[in-house]
Amino acid sequence: MAFSAVLVGCGAMSKGWLEAIASPALRNHVRLVGLCDVDPKAAERRRDEFKLDVAVDSDLGALLEKTKPDLLFDVVVPAARHAVVSTGLSHGCHVLSEKPMAPSIEEGRDLVARAKIAGKVHAIMQNRRYNEGTRRIRATIESGVLGEITAIHADFFVAPHFGGFREEMQDVLLIDMAIHTLDAARFMSGKSPLAVYCHQSNPRGSWYAHGAVANAIFEMSDGVVFTYRGSWAAEGERTSWDSEWRVVGTKGMLVWDGLTGFKATVKAGDEGFLRPTKVADLPFPDPSETIGHKSVLAAFVDALEAGRIPETVGTDNIKSLAMVFAAIESSRLGKRVEISP
């Protein structure tokens, strides 16, 4: 079964989506019929680059009316997301959006409601929860080798010079990047966010307008604490884009450097001595689930074909979005804020 699809938003991020759609895992399941961008030349460039035989239009409604696709792939900037997703749902499309789900919790809630009314699926491209380390940490936690989880810590320090809309955004780190890490923490732990205390800043030397740095303490269900320390203006010794992680349990601790460094140490008997756990002894995820964009797209399409709800559906992803906006509210109020999606 092949779903027809339109992709809207032909900027830099669209290349990764189009490469995934053209991959062997998806090419027999998704058939692109249209590209849309406010700049028609951008859509034409992507059409020509990928040698696509598709319609091109700057008017999304007109393109959807003309092509009548099953799916809409939304790769627009966050400020345009609500209008694009709403248009797709109203034209009978299932929608897969870039992150974040929405630029505000109110718009996120509205999109959840619109998808329910339309009887369609709106899911989010949380590609970093489909990386090997992220899924391996979840599998390790579920195996019980670390005992009961008590704390998760993530450090994110990089210094990208994007230019464009990000450098003008308010709360740029939390909205545009931390959503990945917060969603991963929720996925790894299987815990629900309850409250947060957060401090934001924009340090000397930052090339962003606001909020390049955030430090947050999240209270999760079952007494688990999740801490996030992040900066998008940290030159020098950078972390991985997937952050550096430390997971603390009652029987031991796991550390992942966000790349290939994955290790765990567990308690050996009642004496309290520690012994390293061989990496090979820790659970591995299914390799087909750990290819980022390709895995998210494949899981989305597989779920639709099987009549299942995809992992990153909006009704679940709004819980990660709620973490973002509760952290923003906490930083502005200077106090602990309870979290409710």
Tell me which amino acid residue 238 is. Answer: R
pLDDT of residue 260: 86
- Is the same domain home to 80 and 107? yes
Q: If DSSP codes are grouped into helix, strand and coil, which group holds residue 338? A: strand
pLDDT of residue 341: 64
- Is the same domain home to 22 and 59? yes
- Is the same domain home to 62 and 163? no
- Please indicate whether residue 178 or residue 27 has the higher confidence score (pLDDT): 178
- Is the same domain home to 148 and 274? yes
Count of domains observed in the chain? 2
Output the domain CATH number for residue 134.
3.30.360.10
Query: Which residue matches tokens 């393109």?
Result: 63
8 Å CB contact between 158 and 200: no
Q: If DSSP codes are grouped into helix, strand and coil, which group holds residue 32? A: strand
Interatomic CA distance for residues 109 and 242, integer angstroms: 27
Segment among 55-59, 294-298, 323-327 with least mean pLDDT: 294-298
- Is the same domain home to 158 and 274? yes
State the residue range of the domain holding 65: 3-125
pLDDT of residue 124: 97
Closest CA to 154 of 225, 219, 237, 243: 243
Segment among 39-53, 133-147, 277-291 with least mean pLDDT: 277-291
Interatomic CA distance for residues 86 and 110, integer angstroms: 9
What average pLDDT does the structure give for the chain? 92
pLDDT of residue 288: 64
Does residue 40 belong to any structural domain of this protein? yes
- Is the same domain home to 200 and 149? yes
Percent of the chain scoring above 90 in pLDDT: 80
Interatomic CA distance for residues 210 and 280, integer angstroms: 43
pLDDT of residue 280: 44
Average pLDDT over residues 100-122: 96
Percent of the chain scoring above 70 in pLDDT: 93
8 Å CB contact between 2 and 67: no
Interatomic CA distance for residues 128 and 183, integer angstroms: 9
pLDDT digits (tens, 9 = 90+) for 221-265: 999 999 999 999 999 999 999 999 999 999 989 999 999 888 888
**Res. 177: pLDDT tops 60:** yes
- Final residue in a domain of this structure, among 125, 150, 176: 125
Average pLDDT over residues 121-141: 92
pLDDT band at 25 (very low <50, low <70, confident <90, very high): confident
- Is the same domain home to 33 and 85? yes
- Is the same domain home to 100 and 141? no
Determine phi and psi for 225, rounding to 5 degrees. -110, 135
- Is the same domain home to 114 and 133? no
**Res. 46: pLDDT tops 90:** yes
What does DSSP assign to residue 70?
Answer: S
Average pLDDT over residues 13-36: 94
pLDDT of residue 265: 85
- Final residue in a domain of this structure, among 125, 160, 195: 125
Can you give the C-alpha Rg of the chain in angstroms? 21
pLDDT digits (tens, 9 = 90+) for 279-315: 546 666 666 665 778 889 999 999 999 999 999 999 9
Q: In what order do the strands lie in the sheet with 244-249?
A: 273-277, 262-268, 252-256, 244-249, 149-157, 225-231, 213-220, 193-201, 337-338
pTM of the model: 0.90
pLDDT of residue 234: 94
Expressed in angstroms, the distance from the first to the final Cα of the chain is: 35
Does residue 231 belong to any structural domain of this protein? yes
Distances (CA, A) of 164 to 19, 122, 168: 23, 27, 7
Query: Which residue matches tokens 């320390």?
Result: 229
To the nearest 10°, the Cα dihedral for 324, 328, 330, 332?
A: 180
Average pLDDT over residues 165-176: 92
Output the domain CATH number for residue 87.
3.40.50.720
- Is the same domain home to 154 and 263? yes
8 Å CB contact between 264 and 254: yes
- Final residue in a domain of this structure, among 105, 125, 145: 125
**Res. 192: pLDDT tops 50:** yes
